[in-house]
Structure 1
Amino acid sequence: MVPPIADMLAAVERSPEAAGAHDRDGWVALFAPDGRIEDPVGSRPHVGRAQIARFYDTFIGPRDITFHRGRDVVSGSAVIRDLTLEVKMGASVTMTIPAFLRYDLDDALNIARLQAFWELPAMVWQFARNGVGALPAGLQLSGALLRNQRLAGTAGFLAGFRGATSRGKRHVGALLDDACAGDQVAVKRRLGDAPQLTRGDDERIGTSELVALLHGARWDGMVRAGNVTVARARRDGRHLVVFADVATRPTLVRGVRVFADDQWT
């Protein structure tokens, strides 16, 4: 049975509250015993509370993180949070990271899976633009990675550089342009053969229904993480998040999942 939406949103909100308070034990306890973190998506997952605690020690505990929230979309047992992360890496380095966070909750409102969709290459480039001032923060992060994640975990984190290319991102952008314009023929052409299209995770839809959901909307805020490209769409004050699974060589969209607020029709 899916918990009430208000309870789900309250459960999700406990995560930034605990992170902001630097409450390590409280933050780790929010996860199910076999909980899973993919941050960013495309990097090696952290599974189980012991690994999640090491994730906290590496990426959350040493720095101050402010969550600038956009809209939340609830679908089934998932909460999709559209936000910008303000991460203070050190005295002179503060990062601004556009992101989409997906929280999957179990029946007890524990976090069964947390997926963070943000662009690792863009974050590294932003970090590097701080020049010499970024050196202490870079050394601190490198040391924490090696200390808490070891060589294998550090390599697993760097795997977040792989995945959808800029070309794939442009392909998804063109697909969204066509869908928002109501051009069903163009959308079918861009999707190719037998893509997996769903509203939420499980409700299968066709191309015409996908176009109907997006027609008249405006999209922005696109990020890519792993093989997934994510964007928001807005129409008449309503909010929708689109996840596109993108293959490379050749570039094609293998599937699209749309998560909409209750009022979106």
Structure 2
Amino acid sequence: MSVTPTDAAAVTRTATARELLDLVLGSPAAVAVHDKQAWLGLFSERHVVEDPVGGRPVLGGLYDRRSRVRGGAPLDRFWDTFIAPNDIRFHIENDDIVSGLDVIRDVTIETRLGGGVVAKAPMHLLYETTLDDGAPRIRRIAAHWEVAPMFAQVAGVDRAKLGVAAAMGTRMLRLQGLGGSLAFGLAVRSVGERGKRSVRRLVADARRGDQRSLDLLGGHSVENVTKVIAAGDTVTATCTVDGAHAVLFCYLNRRTMQVTKTVVYR
């Protein structure tokens, strides 16, 4: 089945597309200057951060066993683990898409980890927004990127890479605990190349006129599929629809590797 992005009919009277885009752009802006409080302030009271998709999600507004309070402590620890120690730069590859209450970004993120070690990750970022006390806030971030290629860029036996790995491991154990550290590593397991082939086959079958494939894609004519990313149970791809830039999100059954749901953002 095809899923329509979040219905914003009741909210867009207050939150315009420009406001939502400004909200989302506040995230890389705060990250660039290491303004933790500004970044935390972008999120709704209850929030989810999946970074990467397929790893353990960061849940806000629920009881947190480590801090023993209900609030944003997990997001605070996420910042301290993955953002605070690094220089993170966003390289925009296509125009941002605002669809209802969702904002989709097609980017490559460059992370400078210290000691001259740099890792780049092609990503599709999905921001789902909401209103908190009348103001637009980020409700969910789903960062679709592949963990294995990132690991490969920072792995090595030279002093700088060994130092980065040791510091990262120590920081993750201290802030995320053993379970959180293991969960991050396990995010390397995704639908992978088999999932990508399923998506490419779906798009090809739809272009040949296969009705089931067309229905699954919501009747959209998807073409020029590039930058295909497998993360968790999801495959995302930069593409064009009716000649315009779009991003395709496909959700798969991990047992059969069949696409069960799609969303086309354009």
TM-score (norm: length of structure 1)? 0.84
Structure 2 counterpart SS, 1:44? coil
Deviation at 1:159, TM superposition (A): 3.0
Contact 2:107-2:123 within 8 A present in 1 as well: yes
- CA distance, structure 1, for counterparts of residue 263 and residue 158 of structure 2: 39
Residue number in structure 1 paired with 2:42: 30
Corresponding residue number in structure 2 for 1:54 = 77
Q: Name the count of aligned residue pairs.
A: 239
SS of the equivalent of 1:41 reads: coil
Q: Percent identical across equivalent pairs? A: 34
1:183 pairs with one of 208, 217, 224 = 208
1:62 is paired with a residue whose SS is coil
Amino acid of the structure 1 residue aligned with 2:221: L
Deviations 1:169-204 (A, max 9, x none): 12212322344xx2122x73xx5xxxxxxxxxxxxx
Aligned to 1:206: 215
Question: Cα gap change, 1:67/1:130 in structure 2, threshold over 3 Å: closer, same or farther?
Answer: farther
Conservation of the 8 A alpha-carbon contact between 2:225 and 2:240 = yes
User: Can you list the C-alpha shifts for 1:56-83, whole angstroms capped at 9, x where unaligned?
Assistant: 0000010000001132111111101110
> What is residue 174 of structure 2 aligned with on the other side?
147
User: Distance between the aligned counterparts of 1:13 and 1:220, measured in 2?
Assistant: 24
Indicate conservation of the 8 Å contact 1:93/1:130, yes or no.
Answer: no
Q: Which residue of 2 aligns with 1:231?
A: 237
Q: Quote the residue 1:200 is aligned against.
A: none
Question: Unaligned stretches of 5+ in structure 2?
Answer: 1-10, 61-71
**Runs of at least 4 residues off by over 6 Å:** none
Hey, what does 1:199 align to over in structure 2?
Answer: none
Deviates more, 1:222-231 or 1:135-144: 135-144
Q: Is the 8 A contact 2:217 2:264 kept in 1?
A: no
Aligned equivalents of 1:131, 1:78: Cα separation in 2: 42
Amino acid at match of 2:80: D
Please point out which of 217, 240, 243 is paired with 2:246.
240
Describe the SS at the equivalent of 1:206: helix
User: 2: distance between equivalents of 1:17 and 1:208?
Assistant: 34
Q: Is the 8 A contact 1:44 1:159 kept in 2?
A: no
2:261 aligned with 1:252? no
Corresponding residue for residue 114 of structure 2: 90
Deviation of 1:94 after TM superposition, in Å, equals 0.6
Partner SS state of residue 171, structure 1? helix
TM-score, length of structure 2 as denominator length = 0.84
Q: 1:243, 1:22 → 2: CA distance? A: 30
1:66 equivalenced with 2:89 (yes/no) = yes
Secondary structure of 1:96's counterpart equals strand
Q: Please say if residues 184 and 208 of structure 1, whose CA atoms lie closer than 8 Å, have aligned partners that are also in contact.
A: no
> 2-side partners of 1:30 and 1:80: how far apart?
16
1:101 and 2:125 correspond: yes
Judging by fraction of residues, say which structure has more helix.
1
Question: What's the counterpart of residue 159 of structure 1?
Answer: 186
**Alpha carbons of structure 1 residues 235 and 130: separation in structure 2 relative to 1, 3 Å:** farther
